[in-house]
Amino acid sequence: MEKEAKIALLKERAKELRKTALTMIYEANSGHPGGSLSAADLMAALYFDELRLNPENPRWEDRDRFVLSKGHVCPILYSALALRGFFPYETIHTLRKYGSILQGHPDMKRCPGVDISTGSLGQGISCAVGMAIAYKRDKKDARVFAMLGDGETNEGQVWEAVEAAVKYGLDNLVIIVDNNGLQNDGACADIMPTQDLCDKFKSFGCRTFCIDGHDMEQIVGVFEKIRMESGCCKPFAIVAKTVKGKGVSFMENVVKWHGVAPNDDEYKMAMAELEVGLK
Amino acid sequence: MKALRDGFGDEIIELGRENSKIYVIDCDIGKSCKTQPFAKELPEQYLNVGIAEQNAAGVGAGLATCGKIPFVCTYAAFGSMRMCEQIRQEMCYPMLNVKIACSHGGLTPANDGASHQCIEDIGIMRTLPNMTVIAPGDYYATRKLVKEATKIYGPVYLRFTRDAIPFVYDENEEFEIGKAKQLKSGNDVTIIASGSVLHLAVQAAEQLEAEGVSVRLIDMHTIKPLDKEIVRKALEETGAVITVEDHNIINGLGSAVCEVAAELGKGRVKRMGVQDQFGESGPYYKLLEKNGVTAELIAEAAKGAVSNG
Ligand SMILES: Cc1ncc(C[n+]2csc(CCOP(=O)(O)OP(=O)(O)O)c2C)c(N)n1
Ligand SMILES: [Mg+2]
């Protein structure tokens, strides 16, 4: 596909992801919109371009794996899985409902396409390291992608995992940080300053890229570079500068929208804005 | 109706005002743990260490060695499990005066699902030497027991829950750690409950009374040290005990009562609670019902115990 056409298509997908995720949270009247919206463009590029997946066979042994280490933003993951056909689209209306495959945090035993159950922050990335080591030892060319929150990097376990990834030369692992600058109680700068995450990942020994996580060209470009550098014997880290709540003006950069659902009016306003797409 | 976590938030700020040694340490969920008014009013006694529970526990222990009385606040799942070894090594072993104050115990973060629910904490915490374990049954009990926790020296695990539940007490009720409260006297059967399902036990007892069953009702707000004397009397005088808790039936209140019964060699115990299975997303009372914990089923179990007696 022509690069321009591809980028236009991925932007369209990101828009659908945002609308689907917000609809899920609105209908469930509970969930995490802010970090779902900040991750939407990265998720679109992953699920509609970069990841090697087979929705017919979610447990395909040679698939690329995706670990949503910041499990609370599962509505955006469920949206991607629904739109890729891992389960019927109508399932989105069951988020957080009794008996649903779409649990409040991802459950790999219930939901096709979920590679590991997450929800307790800081743990998913270690599981991603385990997966990447197994792929290497089994001589598979599949890769592992892990998405983390910036607040999540407060957890010491994240850095333990990064050290192990470097030690084992996991150039089949791509760590993506959704660097939206906010966590639950406030701005990262006030709650626990992360310092410069790009410097941190570099100093730990990762091949590190810093991008604008809403610029589809940059996102696609960085994944391309990473593919070309496979064999560098280093894990990759993408620190993606993002805006929490991106795409809904009244949610952007507002701490409150970390973990509350929109009411009727807010939902209508948000959907109208999302329909127009990112500026 | 009021949530237990609100009881904690409302009490800790008063305690903090009176005693500048009282500290709150948050782990980026202060909003959910209801400590934000404390943070605002008493910033010199407040820390937020971010999403780093293990560090929070250690910082709490360090503060305690310098004479502070820290309350480390997070969800029960993270407070009892992510911080578990730090609690053992740096609070229980050296017998330091740190309080672990956790919201979201049991199945109460109902929508969030299994990752955020916690049905294991009481079992884990009561197995640690030197630890005191408290699960208040309503808003007022929470306030009083938080206050009592500051009066005893040593590590205390306090378990609160997320959602609003009915009042069982009024603001004048007094509580003593380690001393259970007998809410109804009766001789046919005893119900011992703790935590946020206490009100279901109250409803069951009222139903039983209306049907002419003489039921004894006990609020076991302190699971460790357990009020063994009141359990012994219940076993000897009523023969049968039903335990009710929002926790795995393994290692919680039910198990603690069974230990007394087994060593005494008297009485029968039926444990009601989470049936050794993970929670899931759904309405709180639906999740309890799935585990057989409803007022009706408690009453039925009590009647069953009487007729078998
Ligand atoms: C171990 C652990 N502690 C606390 C929480 C509660 N929690 C859920 S989301 C969140 C904030 C996450 O912030 P960040 O990682 O920046 O995510 P984002 O901004 O992308 O939503 C917290 C503290 C948790 N899920 N796991
Ligand atoms: Mg963030």
Q: Cβ separation of A185 and B51 shorter than 8 Å?
A: no
Closest CA to A130 of A92, A85, A168: A168
* pLDDT score of B257: 98
* pLDDT score of B309: 64
* pLDDT score of A270: 98
Distance between first and last Cα of chain A: 24
Last residue of a domain, one of B140, B165, B190: B165
Per DSSP (E only), the strands in chain A are 65-68, 144-149, 173-179, 207-212, 236-241
Atom of ligand 1 nearest to the CA of B82: 1
Return d(Cα B96, Cα A72) in angstroms, integer: 34
Taking 50 as the pLDDT cut, the residues of chain B under it are none
Starting from the CA of residue A37, give the closest ligand: 1
Domain count, chain A: 1
**Residue A41 belongs to domain with CATH number:** 3.40.50.970
Q: pLDDT tens across A139-171, in order?
A: 999 999 999 999 999 999 999 999 999 999 999
Ligand 1 contact, A230 CB (< 6 A): no
**Residue B11 belongs to domain with CATH number:** 3.40.50.970
The verdict on B86 and B198 lying in the same domain is: no
The verdict on B152 and B56 lying in the same domain is: yes
Q: pLDDT tens across A30-54, in order?
A: 999 999 999 999 999 999 999 999 9
Q: pLDDT tens across A179-235, in order?
A: 999 999 999 999 999 999 999 999 999 999 999 999 999 999 999 999 999 999 999
Specify the pTM.
0.97
The verdict on B145 and B193 lying in the same domain is: no
Tell me how far the alpha carbon of residue B125 is from its chain's centroid. 11
Q: Cβ separation of A154 and B115 shorter than 8 Å?
A: no
Which pair of tokens denotes residue B127? 């197995």
The whole domain housing B247 covers: 181-304
Give me Rg for the CA atoms of chain A: 17
Concerning whether B53 is annotated as a catalytic residue, the answer is yes
Ligand 1 contact, A124 CB (< 6 A): no
Please tell me if residue B266 touches chain A, with a CB cutoff of 8 Å.
Answer: no
For chain B positions 37-66, those within 8 Å of chain A (CB to CB) are 48-52, 54-55
Tell me the residues surrounding ligand 2 (ion) with CB < 5 Å: A 149-151, 180, 182
Return d(Cα B27, Cα B50) in angstroms, integer: 5
| The dihedral sign for the CA sequence B198, B200, B203, B205 | negative
* pLDDT score of A201: 98
Name the closest-CA residue to atom 16, ligand 1.
A151
Please tell me if residue A195 touches chain B, with a CB cutoff of 8 Å.
Answer: no
The verdict on B137 and B203 lying in the same domain is: no
Does residue B172 belong to any structural domain of this protein?
no
The verdict on B160 and B187 lying in the same domain is: no
Ligand 1 contact, A13 CB (< 6 A): no
Is the pLDDT confidence value at A279 over 80? no
The verdict on B253 and B194 lying in the same domain is: yes
If you measure from the C-alpha of residue A243 to the centroid of ligand 2, how many angstroms do you get, rounded to a whole number? 9
The whole domain housing A198 covers: 3-276
Name the closest-CA residue to atom 10, ligand 1.
A184
The verdict on B283 and B245 lying in the same domain is: yes
Return d(Cα B72, Cα B157) in angstroms, integer: 10
Return d(Cα B250, Cα B230) in angstroms, integer: 21
The verdict on B133 and B260 lying in the same domain is: no
Ligand 1 contact, B51 CB (< 6 A): yes
Q: For an interface test with A, which of B48, B51, B118 has the most A Cβ atoms less than 10 Å from its Cβ?
A: B51
For chain B positions 66-105, those within 8 Å of chain A (CB to CB) are 77-78, 82
The verdict on B204 and B151 lying in the same domain is: no
Residue of B50, B112, B115 with shortest CB distance to A192: B50
Does residue B176 belong to any structural domain of this protein?
no
Residue B54: list chain A partners with CB under 8 A. 156
Q: Cβ separation of B50 and A117 shorter than 8 Å?
A: no
* pLDDT score of B307: 81
The verdict on B124 and B219 lying in the same domain is: no
Q: Which residue of B has its CA nearest to A184?
A: B28
Last residue of a domain, one of B114, B135, B165: B165
Residue A205 sits at φ, ψ, to 5 deg, of 105, 15
Greatest Cα pair distance, chain B, in angstroms, is: 59
Q: Which residue of B has its CA nearest to A73?
A: B112
Q: Which residues contact B246 (CB under 8 A, 6 or more apart)?
A: B105, B106, B107, B108, B119, B161, B195, B196, B197, B273, B274, B288, B293
Averaged pLDDT of chain A: 97
Ligand 1 contact, A64 CB (< 6 A): no
From the candidates B11, B41, B53, B300, which is the catalytic residue? B53
For chain B positions 125-184, those within 8 Å of chain A (CB to CB) are none
* CA angle B306–B213–B256, rounded 5-degree value: 55
The verdict on B41 and B112 lying in the same domain is: yes
Does residue B174 belong to any structural domain of this protein?
no
Tell me the nearest-neighbour CA distance from B282 into chain A, angstroms: 4
Domain count, chain B: 2
**Residue B244 belongs to domain with CATH number:** 3.40.50.920
Q: pLDDT tens across B27-84, in order?
A: 999 999 999 999 999 999 999 999 999 999 999 999 999 999 999 999 999 999 999 9
The verdict on B148 and B52 lying in the same domain is: yes
Averaged pLDDT of chain B: 97
* pLDDT score of B134: 98
Q: Which residue of A has its CA nearest to B34?
A: A185
Q: pLDDT tens across A79-125, in order?
A: 999 999 999 999 999 999 999 999 999 999 999 999 999 999 999 99
If you measure from the C-alpha of residue A191 to the centroid of ligand 1, how many angstroms do you get, rounded to a whole number? 12
Q: Which residue of B has its CA nearest to A119?
A: B115
